Amino acid sequence: MTRNLHLWLIPVLPLIGAAVNGLFGKRFSRQTVVAIALLFSGAAFAMALWVASQFSSLQTPHIETFAAWLRAGDFHADFAFFLDQLSLVMLLVVTGVGFLIHIYSVGYMWEEGGFYRFFAYLNLFMFFMLTLVLASNYLLMFIGWEGVGLASYLLIGFWFTKDSAASAGKKAFIVNRIGDFGFLIALFLMIQHFGSLDFVQVAQQVMPMSPEIGAAGLLTAIGLLLMVGAAGKSAQIPLYVWLPDAMEGPTPVSALIHAATMVTAGVYMVSRSHVIFEHAPIAMMVVAIIGTLTALFAATIGVCQTDVKKVLAYSTVSQLGYMFIGCGVGAFSAGIFHLMTHAFFKGLLFLAAGSVIHAVGGEQDMRKMGGLRTKIPWTFWTMTAGTFAIAGFPPLAGFFSKDAILWKAYSSPYGNWVYWAIGVFTAFLTSFYMFRQWFLTFFGEYRGEEHLDDGHGHGGHGHGGIHESPAVMLAPLVILAVLSVCGGWIGSERFDKFLAPVFHSQTASSTAEGPSMPAEPRKEDSTETLFTGISVSAALLGFLLAWQLYHRRPELPQRIAASLGGFYQAVVHKYYVDEIYATVFVKPLIDGSTKLLWHGVDRDIIDAAVDDSADGAREVSDAVRHMQSGNIRSYAGWVAAGAAVVIFYMVWMGTR
């Protein structure tokens, strides 16, 4: 008999917090709101830690059915929770980073209006995210999937009086809807062909299929459709456009939802469906190609951004691309490893960026910063840790995970040197734009105005003068900085071994290929070292270039930009992708909706039909109502006339 860990409590705890704060928070003091929000998210984290401590004594996968949900014929989907190594990693990342960001938000949002609303949404997000990672079937996962989208929408549009924030929220929601459409179709295909959405049952049915048989087309279709869903949620080409705009939300939201957790849901989903992808090589290849292209594309855009948060946003898109490279070449554990380290260092970078923005009174333009190193030392040092981690300097976290992905991109059976080459070039770009940001923000002379009293969008931050953030914001920064430094020391090998039971089909197939496999890595040890050397030198090159351009010779970038001309302009304008989407998709849709559906169908046909029939009824009534005179004798006359007609009719019928 398996133990009951009451896994359902983990998602439900934040839900209680969200409900209490959301329903009654308006009357609470800020302290009470904070106490409730932290209590419930902290309880979820504590529960997750307890589950982790019990984990070794469990049989995996550990499935707990909380309640029956849908029963329709043979098909059923339950409120059931699924715990294995993969969801345990996700669980700890989500609750841990989530709890830290809750703490940080206390300091960051203290001055803001709608304080209780913010924490209610944040707890609501935790609920849905935990549902997503703990679900034991695709349908429950989809509930979490949609729910985090909702929470994301609410939080991006948190400052809903600002037009750009409101429309960024809508954009995120609509673009995600396109991805969700693909996800849904994939679910329908699974129901039709497998009769189940349960992870275990689907995997059992897919496992015996070989890629050559006729079902391969089906699996490829399911895989591609799942990837469409993942591309929407995890901001991959061609659906990445919402993520940079999502930076309109408060910075802790960008850190939690749009860097550390929600956007990685797509990676998690693809990894969770690894059995399907392993049986559909074409889908795998598409995942890897999309990941590679996105990584490169977003990194190039990131180089030219001037907004602190936008740089990090494109960097997130780019890093998510790395994770998909990992998934696409079959190195799911490497992808998840990068997901975890990325959650640490990108969460850290966003929070540190928030601390910088807080310090300079709401300014987000890096060109108006500079020289902040001595003024906000805590932020500087933590952000330095994050920057070196993402750039891939050993022995920080980003180095291990990125290196694992790059090595697999080359060496795995699905791999290709092209993935690796683009990956290394992207690593160079990553290092370059991150250090560019680092130098622009913390070194040189301060270029902003001394006293910025109007907070850029968030009115609460303008208290004049550059100042370090309060301890409640710095503590999460320090913890995340430590994690960013040490998080990679687990090592990808050990991580791989830990996750092996989840991705066991992979190891099973590799051992099945014969005894030559174990010998191979030893032979390639020197190659691996060489590749590691190359990626580290790429990171170093990026650092040196950024140092040269943005520290030693700050006038150089402008000259280079001028000499690049049109290409530079294209990059600055993000390759005009938003504009292209606007002309190709958005404008025809709006025009079609306005002219054809609204004016043509709705106004001229539907409304017209309703209005005309109402007008007709009124005209007829106008004519008839004069019979209703109120005069008793005229009524009597009508009765008599009617009776006479009946009598004449009967007499006439009788005489015929």
Nearer to other proteins, 569 or 634 (CB): 634
Nearer to other proteins, 27 or 633 (CB): 633
Nearer to other proteins, 29 or 634 (CB): 634
Q: Extract the tokens encoding 373.
A: 């190193």
Coil, strand, or helix at residue 503? coil
Nearer to other proteins, 609 or 641 (CB): 641
- Taking CA atoms, 564 is separated from 26, 560, 561, in Å, by 54, 6, 5
Whole-angstrom distance, CA of residue 114 vs CA of residue 559: 46
* Shortest separation between residue 656's beta carbon and other proteins, angstroms: 22
Q: Which residue's structure tokens are 């000499």?
A: 563
- Taking CA atoms, 195 is separated from 73, 79, 190, in Å, by 10, 17, 7
Nearer to other proteins, 50 or 649 (CB): 649
Backbone angles phi and psi of 29, in degrees to 5 = -80, 165
Q: Extract the tokens encoding 500.
A: 């092996």
**Three-class DSSP labels, 205-228:** HHCCCCCCCCHHHHHHHHHHHHHH
Give the residues across from 365 on adjacent strands: 307
Q: What residue type is assigned to position 354 of the chain?
A: G
* Shortest separation between residue 626's beta carbon and other proteins, angstroms: 8
* Shortest separation between residue 653's beta carbon and other proteins, angstroms: 19
Whole-angstrom distance, CA of residue 192 vs CA of residue 202: 12
* Shortest separation between residue 652's beta carbon and other proteins, angstroms: 18
* Shortest separation between residue 650's beta carbon and other proteins, angstroms: 15
* Shortest separation between residue 621's beta carbon and other proteins, angstroms: 10
Nearer to other proteins, 160 or 638 (CB): 638
Nearest 10 degrees: CA dihedral of 602, 607, 609, 611? -170
> Does residue 404 contact residue 334 with C-beta atoms inside 8 Å?
yes
Nearer to other proteins, 556 or 650 (CB): 650
Beta carbons within 10 angstroms of residue 71's beta carbon: 10
Nearer to other proteins, 207 or 644 (CB): 644
CA within 13 Å, CB half, 360: 26
Residues 6+ apart with CB under 8 A from 390: 315, 319, 342, 345, 346, 349, 398, 430, 434
Exposed, middle or buried: residue 462 (CB in 10 Å: 0-12, 13-18, 19+)? middle
The residue among 191, 190, 5 whose CA lies nearest residue 81 is 5
Nearer to other proteins, 635 or 649 (CB): 635
Nearer to other proteins, 31 or 631 (CB): 631
Nearer to other proteins, 519 or 627 (CB): 627
Nearer to other proteins, 552 or 626 (CB): 626
Whole-angstrom distance, CA of residue 179 vs CA of residue 207: 26
Nearer to other proteins, 567 or 635 (CB): 635
Whole-angstrom distance, CA of residue 275 vs CA of residue 203: 6
Whole-angstrom distance, CA of residue 203 vs CA of residue 116: 43
Nearest 10 degrees: CA dihedral of 259, 167, 235, 383? -30
Nearer to other proteins, 204 or 629 (CB): 629
Nearer to other proteins, 74 or 622 (CB): 622
* Shortest separation between residue 612's beta carbon and other proteins, angstroms: 24
Nearer to other proteins, 27 or 626 (CB): 626
Q: Which residues bind other proteins (CB under 8 A)?
A: 625-626, 628-633, 636-637, 640
Beta carbons within 10 angstroms of residue 308's beta carbon: 26
The residue among 349, 350, 351, 341 whose CA lies nearest residue 320 is 341
* Shortest separation between residue 643's beta carbon and other proteins, angstroms: 8
Whole-angstrom distance, CA of residue 212 vs CA of residue 209: 8
Nearer to other proteins, 556 or 639 (CB): 639
* Shortest separation between residue 629's beta carbon and other proteins, angstroms: 5
* Shortest separation between residue 598's beta carbon and other proteins, angstroms: 39
> Does residue 259 contact residue 73 with C-beta atoms inside 8 Å?
no
Q: Extract the tokens encoding 172.
A: 């995120």
Coil, strand, or helix at residue 577? helix
Residues 6+ apart with CB under 8 A from 301: 314, 571, 574, 575
Q: Which residue's structure tokens are 């105005």?
A: 449
Coil, strand, or helix at residue 373? coil
* Shortest separation between residue 615's beta carbon and other proteins, angstroms: 19
* Shortest separation between residue 589's beta carbon and other proteins, angstroms: 51
Quote the DSSP letter at residue 592.
I
* Shortest separation between residue 645's beta carbon and other proteins, angstroms: 14
* Shortest separation between residue 630's beta carbon and other proteins, angstroms: 2
* Shortest separation between residue 121's beta carbon and other proteins, angstroms: 57
Whole-angstrom distance, CA of residue 297 vs CA of residue 33: 42
Alpha helices in 55-162 (DSSP H): 85-108, 115-134, 138-156
Whole-angstrom distance, CA of residue 400 vs CA of residue 532: 9
